Amino acid sequence: MTLNAPTSSGKGEGPAVERALAYAREHREQNLEDLRRLLRQPSVAAQDLGMEDCARLVAAMMEEVGLKAEVVPLAGGHPVVYGELDAGAARTLAFYNHYDVQPPEPLDEWESDPFSAAVRDGMIYARGVADNKGNLVARLKAIQAWLEGEGRLPVNVKLVVEGEEEIGSVHLHDFVHHHGGRLRDARGVVWESGSRDARGRPVISFGCKGILYVELVARGANQDLHSSQAAIVENPAWRLVAALNNLKDLRTDRCLIDGFYDDVRPPTERELDLLRRYPLEEAEMLRHWGISRFIGGLTGLDLALKLFYEPTCTICGLVSGYTGPGSKTVLPRAARAKLDFRLVPDQRAGDVLEKLRRHLARRGFGDIEIRLLGPEDPGQTPADDPLIEVVAESARETYRTEPVIRPRMAGTGPMYLFNRDLGLPTVSGAGIGYHGSLVHAPNEHCRVEDYHLGVEHVIRLLDRFARVEAPPRRPREGALP
Ligand SMILES: [Zn+2]
């Protein structure tokens, strides 16, 4: 990718971006207060706590910085807040964020109220500050800095802010299906997440794994029985264990479901190259988790490939019968297991679910109930897309260090709705968290300085995106409604 020559200054920053940056630096205090305003509004999707109020607050904050905002209701779900500004620019960039947060429990482990947005020792503590309200407000503040400091935005912007990311983006596909046309002009999507690693390097990625989450239920008698009846009555716990034994080979760590790996796409040369350049912090991970080795003793590129390019088959929970103190001689009536499968391109959650069903039925376990708890497909942006370098170069300028660029995250998000279904390149990495942010855990926090730098990163990113040579569009045929 090549950038057009900067218009002046020779530092890659023209006077326009300097004026936007100066505005943000002069308004750091106000920017922090506005973040705290959003953090004080609870928005726990899983508990349906404060969701409508938070959606309205996000819309109001969008309007305050100069965007046109709309709370878009979704039948049976929490609304999406959509904001846009047509700046009359040649290009349009979209942003994806979420206003919902994880439940704050356990509350007694918090050193300050999770919705008080306490600032101490250069940190700001609140549920959702790093995931994902800080990133959202940093983007709004970057837009405001351009509009107030320079009087214009270098690109048109469109913001999609959903309220169900932390519960699996249950209704986001409805929004994309019915309103995806609003993103028709966009040339890319800047993803919600982004944080700095232990060495201070921003981590950039442009894909993520999908997930299939199921519960398996084996049933026996219509009630728990005295365990002496085990001589004549089948035990659902043993049946479940036998069924699970058919799903994974522990010697190879491979999933045994027929056809499970059929659609796994191997890494490209460029993706392999990126994985080689940014190895995992192996010693640190082993020490941090208190283990002596990774599965198969893998290291280096092999380990990275396994983490990012292999799908998984994981027992997340397993329960049956009596598990309290002491002994209780019981033949349980049922046994349950929760499993997740982290999926990679081009696997599809629905297809893997069918394969699981057939696999168990063929082996005599057709009676075991399979409950679908959460499907999301994997998503991947091509490694040569110019948006990746736009995010990386603006990160280099902001953080004065070389970012880590990984083809994909090992985790899951609804990226596929944008990069596969709408054909829009999707890149994460403009965020304000750091490796110690305690995302999803008690005392979630971020460094105040990282928040302000996050605003500056997005200011530069908007400038670079306006000046990058026209990125190719890869719209999927008939993708846009
Ligand atoms: Zn999260």
Compute, in angstroms, the gap from residue 415 CA to the centroid of ligand 1. Answer: 14
Q: In which residue are the tokens 């398996």 written?
A: 216
Compute, in angstroms, the gap from residue 18 CA to the centroid of ligand 1. Answer: 33
What are the domain boundaries of the chain? 15-206+381-467, 210-264+310-376
Compute, in angstroms, the gap from residue 367 CA to the centroid of ligand 1. Answer: 35
Compute, in angstroms, the gap from residue 98 CA to the centroid of ligand 1. Answer: 9
pLDDT in tens, 239-256: 999 999 999 999 999 999
For 15-206+381-467, give the CATH class.
alpha beta
46 neighbors 102 (Cβ within 8 angstroms): yes
Those residues whose beta carbon sits under 5 angstroms from the ion ligand 1 are: 131
Beta strands in 4-103 (DSSP E): 68-72, 80-85, 92-98
38 neighbors 133 (Cβ within 8 angstroms): yes
Compute, in angstroms, the gap from residue 381 CA to the centroid of ligand 1. Answer: 21
Instruction: Report how far residue 400's alpha carbon sits from residue 398's, in angstroms, rounded to the nearest whole number.
Output: 6
What pLDDT score was predicted for residue 480? 54
What pLDDT score was predicted for residue 374? 86
Compute, in angstroms, the gap from residue 192 CA to the centroid of ligand 1. Answer: 10
Return the exposure string of 321-336: e unless at least 16 CB atoms fall within 10 Å of the residue's CB, then b: beeeeeeeeebbbbbb
Compute, in angstroms, the gap from residue 132 CA to the centroid of ligand 1. Answer: 7
Helix %, strand %, coil % for the chain, to 5?
35, 25, 40
What pLDDT score was predicted for residue 471? 64
Residue 201 sits at the vertex; the CA angle it makes with 8 and 126, to the nearest 5 degrees, is: 105
pLDDT tens, N- to C-terminus, the chain (481 residues): 334 444 443 344 569 999 999 999 999 999 999 999 999 999 999 999 999 999 999 999 999 999 999 999 999 999 999 999 999 999 999 999 999 999 999 999 999 999 999 999 999 999 999 999 999 999 999 999 999 999 999 999 999 999 999 999 999 999 999 999 999 899 999 999 999 998 999 999 999 999 999 999 999 999 999 999 999 999 999 999 999 999 999 999 999 999 999 999 999 999 999 999 998 999 999 998 999 999 999 999 999 999 999 999 999 999 999 999 999 999 999 999 999 999 999 999 999 999 999 999 999 999 999 999 989 999 999 999 999 999 999 999 999 999 999 999 999 999 999 999 999 999 999 999 999 999 999 999 999 999 999 999 999 999 999 998 866 565 554 455 5
Compute, in angstroms, the gap from residue 250 CA to the centroid of ligand 1. Answer: 30
Instruction: Report how far residue 195's alpha carbon sits from residue 451's, in angstroms, rounded to the nearest whole number.
Output: 10
What pLDDT score was predicted for residue 12? 46
Please compute, for residue 223, the number of CA atoms within 13 A of its CA located in the half-sphere on the CB side: 2
Compute, in angstroms, the gap from residue 443 CA to the centroid of ligand 1. Answer: 14
What pLDDT score was predicted for residue 479? 54
CB atoms within 10 A of CB 103: 16
What pLDDT score was predicted for residue 314? 96
210-264+310-376 classified as CATH 3.30.70.360? yes
Compute, in angstroms, the gap from residue 111 CA to the centroid of ligand 1. Answer: 20
What pLDDT score was predicted for residue 475? 54
In sequence order, the 6+-apart residues with CB closer than 8 A to the CB of 89 are 153, 154, 155, 156, 466
**CA distance to 183, 265, 347, 353, per residue, from 216 (Å):** 39, 28, 21, 12
Compute, in angstroms, the gap from residue 173 CA to the centroid of ligand 1. Answer: 18
